[in-house]
């Protein structure tokens, strides 16, 4: 058993990951796996909350998500990678915690209100959608982590997890379930190719698995500083959609030259994009190579090993849960 402190996090399998996912989530996970006992799970049951009418595509997305993780740098030897639905104890604890979670706690959840407003094309008046924060709390509390890496938008969910843990502990006169701290992660500073939030639904994303020959034309059409109508118009890297990509992917020694060339109009946007194409190819090529080496058989091996490790912890937690509830028949 590891003597490192434990953290837990997961992602829904809804399609290929893009650079926004990498810099907003995965890059942080890669650092954390060196310092913590990390449990990262494919949240396929969570995907059902909005994709319940077409669950078959979730199954197709699961291997791709694991491949993207491994390609990006997650190491199954350093962290536990598992599939939520393959650890059935999650369903049991979700049921038990849902019995004690007040309805008002779920109805006041900001994400619940926002997504019902935004996803008007889907019927979301379901128990599963309302109750998914309880399932999220289950995913966390099952492994008794010290902290959870989250973005600011997920802080209300984590606070609800703590409230659920406190209520369970109070009702059962125990201190079994911890109240994990938030491990706040920086939001990805990358916007999409058109300057809007990077999103698969907008068609403005750069996928981690995207071949370079398909990516190059997209980069050529990328939005830059709107004030630079001609090459000799001075620009401002601070308002250019392209420059944040350079800050993350180009050799830092080149950044002053890029800034000066933009402000003095000695560099055109085409020059800037050519350099970015080179930087992006250097960044993505190793990812593509690792992804190609991660076959479907390898994904199965990773998940089987991770599921086994996760089940051991989950079974122990459920034995303790049943005991404090006097439900260990």
Looking at residue 81, what is its pLDDT? 98
Looking at residue 248, what is its pLDDT? 92
The answer to whether 39 and 207 have CB atoms below 8 angstroms apart is no
In the beta sheet, which residues pair with residue 8?
Answer: 39
The answer to whether 19 and 209 have CB atoms below 8 angstroms apart is no
What does the alpha-carbon distance between residue 318 and residue 142 come to, in Å, rounded to a whole number?
8
Looking at residue 118, what is its pLDDT? 60
What does the alpha-carbon distance between residue 210 and residue 185 come to, in Å, rounded to a whole number?
26
- Cβ neighbour number for residue 77 with a 10 Å cutoff: 7
Q: What tokens does 73 get?
A: 């740098």
Q: Indicate the class that CATH gives domain 210-290.
A: mainly alpha
Looking at residue 116, what is its pLDDT? 60
Looking at residue 107, what is its pLDDT? 87
Superfamily (CATH) of domain 6-189+296-324: HUPs (3.40.50.620)
What does the alpha-carbon distance between residue 133 and residue 156 come to, in Å, rounded to a whole number?
10
- Cβ neighbour number for residue 133 with a 10 Å cutoff: 20
Angle at alpha carbon of residue 209, lines to 43 and 12, rounded to 5°: 10
Domains of the chain, by residue range, sit at 6-189+296-324, 210-290
Under DSSP, the state recorded for 188 is P
- Cβ neighbour number for residue 144 with a 10 Å cutoff: 17
Gyration radius (Cα) of the chain, Å: 22
Residues 6 or more apart whose Cβ sits within 8 Å of residue 47:
12, 13, 14, 58, 61
Sign for the pseudo-dihedral over CA of 124, 128, 133, 135:
negative
Whether this prediction's pTM lies above 0.85 is answered by yes
Whats the size of the chain, residue-wise? 329
Looking at residue 120, what is its pLDDT? 59
Structural element, H or E, at residue 147: strand 147-150
SS3 84: helix
Q: Mind giving me the DSSP string for 265-321?
A: TSS-HHHHHHHHHHHHHHHHHHHHHHHHHS-HHHHHHHHHHHHHHHHHHHHHHHHHH
Q: What tokens does 166 get?
A: 């406190």
| Tens-digit pLDDT string for the chain (329 aa) | 568 999 999 999 999 999 999 999 999 999 999 999 999 999 999 999 878 888 898 999 999 999 999 999 999 999 999 999 999 999 999 999 999 999 999 988 877 666 666 665 667 778 888 899 999 999 999 999 999 999 888 899 999 999 999 999 999 999 999 999 999 887 777 889 988 888 877 889 999 999 999 999 999 988 888 888 787 888 888 888 899 999 999 999 999 999 998 898 888 888 899 999 999 999 999 999 999 999 999 999 999 999 999 999 999 999 999 999 999 99
Sign for the pseudo-dihedral over CA of 297, 302, 304, 307:
negative
């Amino acid at each position: 058993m590891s003597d490192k402190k434990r953290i837990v996090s997961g992602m829904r399998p809804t399609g290929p990951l893009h650079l926004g996912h990498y810099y907003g989530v995965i890059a942080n996970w890669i650092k954390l796996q060196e310092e913590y006992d990390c449990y990262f799970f494919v949240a396929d049951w969570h995907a059902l909350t909005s994709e319940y009418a077409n669950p078959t595509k979730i199954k197709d997305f699961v291997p791709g998500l694991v491949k993207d993780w491994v390609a990006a740098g997650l190491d199954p030897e350093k962290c536990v990678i598992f599939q939520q639905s393959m650890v059935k104890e999650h369903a049991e604890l979700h049921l038990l915690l849902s019995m004690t979670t007040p309805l008002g706690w779920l109805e006041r959840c900001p994400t619940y209100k926002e997504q019902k407003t935004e996803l008007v094309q889907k019927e979301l008046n379901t128990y599963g959608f309302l109750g998914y924060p309880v399932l999220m709390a289950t995913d966390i509390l099952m492994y008794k982590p010290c902290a959870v890496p989250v973005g600011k938008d997920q802080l209300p969910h984590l606070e609800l997890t703590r409230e659920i843990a406190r209520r369970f502990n109070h009702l059962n006169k125990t201190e079994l379930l911890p109240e994990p701290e938030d491990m706040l992660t920086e939001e990805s500073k990358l916007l999409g190719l058109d300057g809007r939030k990077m999103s698969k639904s907008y068609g403005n994303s750069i996928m981690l698995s995207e071949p370079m020959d398909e990516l190059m034309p997209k980069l050529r059409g990328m939005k830059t500083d709107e004030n630079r109508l001609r090459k000799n118009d001075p620009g401002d890297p601070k308002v250019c959609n392209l420059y944040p990509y350079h800050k993350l992917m180009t050799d830092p020694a080149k950044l002053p030259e890029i800034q000066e060339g933009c402000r003095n109009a000695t560099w055109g946007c085409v020059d800037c994009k050519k350099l970015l194409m080179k930087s992006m190819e250097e960044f993505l090529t190793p990812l593509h190579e690792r992804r190609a080496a991660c076959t479907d058989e390898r994904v199965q091996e990773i998940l089987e090993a991770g599921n086994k490790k996760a089940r051991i912890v989950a079974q122990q937690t459920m034995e303790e849960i049943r005991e404090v509830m006097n439900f260990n028949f």
